[in-house]
Structure 1
Amino acid sequence: MSAQLLQIKDLSVKVEDKEILHNVDLNLNKGETHVLMGPNGAGKSTLGYALMGNPRYEITDGHIFFNGKDITEESPAERAGDGIFLSFQNPIEVPGITLGNFIRTALEQRTGSRIRLWNFRKELKKAMDILQMDEEYADRDLNVGFSGGEKKKAEILQLLMLKPSLAILDETDSGLDVDAVRTVSRGVEEYQKNKNGALLIITHSTRILEALHVDATHILADGKMVASGDSSLVDEINTNGFEKYIQQ
C-alpha cells in the first residue's frame, strides 16, 4: 500500500474576500497520478495556488498535510523546499536569468550543495532532448520571447530536472497544438516513471491524459469536490461533459 503524500482536509480558500473553495478534501499517495477536472471557474487553479502557498489565496479553514507535516502556514519557498512544484497555467517571463541558470540555482537550493556545470549540462541536454527543445533555449532568459508551447516545455523541463515529490500541473495543455501536447505529455510520462513522484493534473481538457496512467479523478464544481473515481470518470466527462455535476 502506498504511503500518503498529500492530505487536504476541509480546505476553504478565499481570494479578495470572495470564498472560492468550500471544505475541499483530497488524499494523494506517493507515486500516484490524480486528475482534477471541472468547468471554467470551478476553483481548480485556486486549489493549485493554495497548495503552493500563494499569499493572495487565503486559507480560511482546514489544513494541508504533506508527508505527514502540516504545511498550511508555510511560505511558497518552504513548500518548494519540501518538494512541491507548481507548473503555472501562464508562465511568467523573468528577464536577466537564463533558463539553465534558473534550474541550476533551484537544484542547488534543493540539495544545499554546488552542482558541477558539466554534469548539470549533461542532464539538462537529456531532458531537453525528451522535450524536443533546442539547446539554445537554456541560454535564453527564462520565458522571454518564448512561444506558448516553448513556455510550457520549459515548465516541464524544470519538472524533469527538479524531480519534485509532488508536481501540480495547472492547465499544462492549454493553448497547445496537437504536436506540442504530445511532446509535453512525453515529458510528463517520463516524470511519471519515477514512482517516488506524484502528480496532480489540473485540467478541463483531457488531451494531456491520453498517454498517462491515471489513478484517480476528481470533479470540482462551484468550489466543491462533487465526485471522485478512477480513470473511467475522465471518459465519462469526455462523453457527457460537466453538466450533471454543475447541476449538483
Structure 2
Amino acid sequence: MATLEIKDLHVSVSTDDEPKEILKGVDLTVRAGETHAIMGPNGSGKSTLAYAVAGHPKYEVTSGSVLLDGEEVLEMSVDERARAGLFLAMQYPVEVPGVSMSNFLRSAATAVRGEAPKIRHWVKEVKEAMTDLDIDPSFAERSVNEGFSGGEKKRHEILQLDLLKPKFAILDETDSGLDVDALRVVSDGVNRYTAGGERGVLLITHYTRILKHIAPDHVHVFAGGRIVESGGAELADQLERDGYVRFTGSKETAAV
C-alpha cells in the first residue's frame, strides 16, 4: 500500500526583510485509497504545504521529512518527485504559449511512464479522457491553458491526473472558479482517479461544496501553519456552519 508521510514539516519563504516561517510542524499521513481534505482560512499555509511537497523553489524546507513509500521526497528534484508518483493540481494553472496540449500531455506521460506511449493507444486514451471531462477535442491543438477559462484550466489539470495516474494527487483549490456543472465534471474525474483504492488524494479547499461530490475519509483544519484538528466528514459540516473562529479567534474568518 502506497503511503505519503509528512513529518514535523517546517517551511519558510523569503521576504524583503528576512525569511518568514509559514509551516510550523505539519504531521500528516495519507495512504492509498484515502481522501484527505485540508480546510482553513486564507494565509494559514495550505498552499505552502502543497508547493513545498511538490518542490517549488520559493519554499525552503527548514526541517522535517516527506516520505513516499519510505523514500525521502525532499532529496528528489521536481521531476523525480513526479516520476515517483506525486502530482500537484495548481490553484492557478499557468499558461504555456507555443506548446500544444497534445505535445505537453504526451511528453509528460513519456517522462512519467519511462517510455513514449504507442500513438494509436495514446490517441484513444486521450480522446476518452477528454470526453469524460467534457473537453472539446479541438483543445488538444491549443497552447497549454492559453486563453482558457478558469473552469477549462481546472479540467485540464484533471485531464493530466487521469492520464498520468500518480500515486498521490495534491489538489490545491481545484474547485475555485468552477460553476455547478464544471464542479460536477471535475469531481467525477477525481472520483474515477481514486476508484479501486490504489491512489490517495490531498484535497485543499475553503468550501464544503466539492466535498458533496468527493467524499473525504479525513478532514483536517489548518490554522497558523499547522493542523489544529482532524476528524471525519462531519468536521467539514461543522466548519460550514461555524467557520474557523474557534481556531483563529478572528470573527473575520468566521464564514467558510
TM-score bracket for this pair, using the shorter chain length: over 0.9
Q: 1:232 aligns with which of 217, 231, 234?
A: 234
Q: Which amino acid aligns with 1:33?
A: T
Superimposed CA distance per residue, residues 195-227 of structure 1 (whole angstroms, 9 cap, x where no aligned partner): 211100011112221122211111110112100
Tell me which of 43, 46, 64 is aligned to 2:45.
43
Which amino acid in the other structure matches residue 41 of structure 2?
A: P
**Counterpart among 190, 199, 202 of residue 200 in structure 1:** 202
Q: How does 1:115-194 map to 2 (within 5 A)?
A: 115-194=117-196
1:63 corresponds to which residue?
65
* Structure 1 unaligned blocks of 5 or more: none
Q: Give the corresponding residue for 2:10.
A: 12
Provide the C-alpha distance between the structure 2 equivalents of 1:176 and 1:114, rounded to a whole number of angstroms.
Answer: 33
Structure-2-length-normalised TM-score: 0.93
Structure 2: unaligned runs, 5 residues or longer: 251-256
Asked whether the 8 Å contact 1:4–1:27 carries over to 2, the reply is no
Q: CA deviation at 1:7?
A: 0.7
Give SS of 2:163's match.
helix
Q: Secondary structure of 1:8's match?
A: strand
SS state at 1:65 partner: strand
SS at 1:72's partner residue? helix
Where 1:35 maps in the other structure, the secondary structure is strand
- Rounded to whole Å, the distance in 2 between the matches of 1:12 and 1:82 is 22
Query: What CA distance in whole angstroms lies between the structure 1 residues aligned with 2:126 and 2:41?
Result: 36
2:222 paired residue number: 220
Aligned length: 246
In structure 2, C-alpha distance between the alignment counterparts of 1:209 and 1:138, rounded to whole Å: 30
Deviating above 2 A after TM superposition, structure 1's stretches of 4 or more consecutive aligned residues are none
**Does the CA-based 8 Å contact 2:10-2:63 persist in structure 1?**
yes
Gap change, CA 1:163 and 1:194, over 3 Å in 2: farther
* Mapped pair 1:109 → 2:111: yes
Deviation at 1:4, TM superposition (A): 5.4
Secondary structure class of the residue paired with 2:74:
coil
RMSD between superposed Cα atoms in Å: 1.2
Alpha-carbon deviation of 1:8?
Answer: 0.6
**For residue 85 of structure 1, what is the aligned residue in structure 2?**
87
Q: Is the 8 A contact 1:30 1:198 kept in 2?
A: yes
Map of 2:253 onto structure 1: none
Amino acid at match of 1:7: E
Q: Cα distance, 1:151 vs. partner?
A: 0.5
Deviation at 1:167, TM superposition (A): 0.4
Using the TM superposition, give the Cα deviation of residue 53 of structure 1 relative to its aligned residue in structure 2, in angstroms.
Answer: 0.9
Conserved 8 A contact 2:2-2:199: no
Alignment map for 1:93-104 (pairs within 5 Å): 93-104=95-106
Q: TM-score, normalised by structure 1?
A: 0.96
Contact 1:34 1:218 in 2 (8 A): yes
Task: Tell me how far apart the structure 1 counterparts of residues 148 and 224 of structure 2 sit (CA, whole Å).
Answer: 34
In structure 2, relative to structure 1, the CA distance for the partners of 1:194 and 1:138 (3 Å cut) is: farther
How high is the sequence identity, in percent, across the aligned residues? Answer: 49
C-alpha contact 1:8 1:25 (8 A) present in aligned 2: yes
